[in-house]
Amino acid sequence: MSTPQRYLNQVAVVTGGSTGIGFAIAQQLINEGAKRVYITGRSLDTLNLAAQTLGASAIPVVSDVAKLTDLEALKHAIEQRGDTLTQLFANAGIAEYNSFGNTTEREFDKTFDINVKGVFFTVQTLLPLMQASSAIVLTGSIVGNKGMENLSIYSASKAAVRSFARTWANELKARKIRVNTLSPGLTRTPIMENGLKLNAEQLAQLQDYASTAVPTGYIATPQEIAAAALFLASNEASYINGIELTVDGGMTQI
């Protein structure tokens, strides 16, 4: 069966598009005909590696979402190619544990600067380039509705992301721009090693946990999450606006 071409000639931005869920989103957009996909991240090497795999339709741009000057530079790079945007995936984020009682201001600011301020100013900065009737997908997390231990900052940051989607769906209605939040559950990406600092033994324990705590019985692949992101941004979801789509194998439903 041939791949559907829902994104033929579309131009998208995927922040945090160099690895994990963002990379899978970029890959599926290109597989479905996207003309250009701007992928961002902080590491040039990781971005270049991703762009090599994705091919010529992927444009790597080093851009830290926590820095407004970097976001302006991203906007400039898009304008220089004469592009306007049909989809924006504000996906870049970090996940780090914090121990309540010992949390430093620096830890707090780091997560909020990237996950909250970063999403806010990504969307605000790129909004002038968004076409009418385009779509924005924010990457939230199931933790925004949970109370998991040692995750208070990360969880609060994702609750803020979910809140943005509600307000922006309202604020952008005149331009017919839809805004939705995609909230993944456990997903096997580099965030588990780089952010949560899980070692091999802890990763194996997480797999065991998923086999009982998640009705589907396993940790999601980034591709399974990306498929839902592409649905939300597509015309198939033309009447879906302001929602949080939880993609967690049923983990938070039972």
Ligand X SMILES: NC(=O)c1ccc[n+]([C@@H]2O[C@H](COP(=O)([O-])OP(=O)(O)OC[C@H]3O[C@@H](n4cnc5c(N)ncnc54)[C@H](OP(=O)(O)O)[C@@H]3O)[C@@H](O)[C@H]2O)c1
**Cα–Cα distances in Å, from 111 out to 119, 195, 248?**
11, 11, 22
Q: Given candidates 7, 10, 13, 16, which one binds ligand X under the rule CB under 6 A?
A: 16
- If you ran DSSP here, which 8-state letter would residue 175 be given? G
Annotation marks residue 154 as catalytic: yes
- Nearest distance from residue 207's CB to ligand X, in Å? 13
Which of 7, 38, 154, 218 is an active site residue? 154
Query: Which lies closer to ligand X via its Cβ, residue 32 or residue 96?
Result: 96
- Nearest distance from residue 89's CB to ligand X, in Å? 10
Q: How does 156-194 read in b/e, with b if 16+ C-beta sit within 10 Å?
A: bbbbbbbbbbbebbeebeeeebbbbbbbbbbbbbebbee
Alpha helices per DSSP H over the chain: 20-31, 44-54, 68-80, 105-111, 118-126, 152-171, 191-194, 200-213, 222-233
- Which range touches ligand X (CB under 6 A), out of 80-88, 166-174, 188-196, 207-215? 188-196
Residue 20 touches ligand X, criterion: CB under 6 A = yes
* Phi, psi values for residue 198, rounded to 5°: -80, 135
Site string for ligand X, 45-84 (x = CB under 6 A): -x-----------------xxx------------------
C-alpha–C-alpha distance, residues 224 and 169, integer Å: 25
Chain residues 206-245 in contact with ligand X, contact rule CB under 6 A: none
- The token pair at 4 is 């559907």
Q: How many C-alpha atoms does 20 have within 13 Å on its Cβ side? A: 22
Residue 138 touches ligand X, criterion: CB under 6 A = no
Q: Given candidates 15, 27, 28, 134, which one binds ligand X under the rule CB under 6 A?
A: 15
Query: Which lies closer to ligand X via its Cβ, residue 175 or residue 197?
Result: 197
Residues serving a catalytic function are 154
Chain contacts with ligand X (rule: CB under 6 A): 15-16, 18-22, 40-43, 46, 64-66, 91-95, 114, 118, 139, 141, 184, 186-187, 189-191, 194
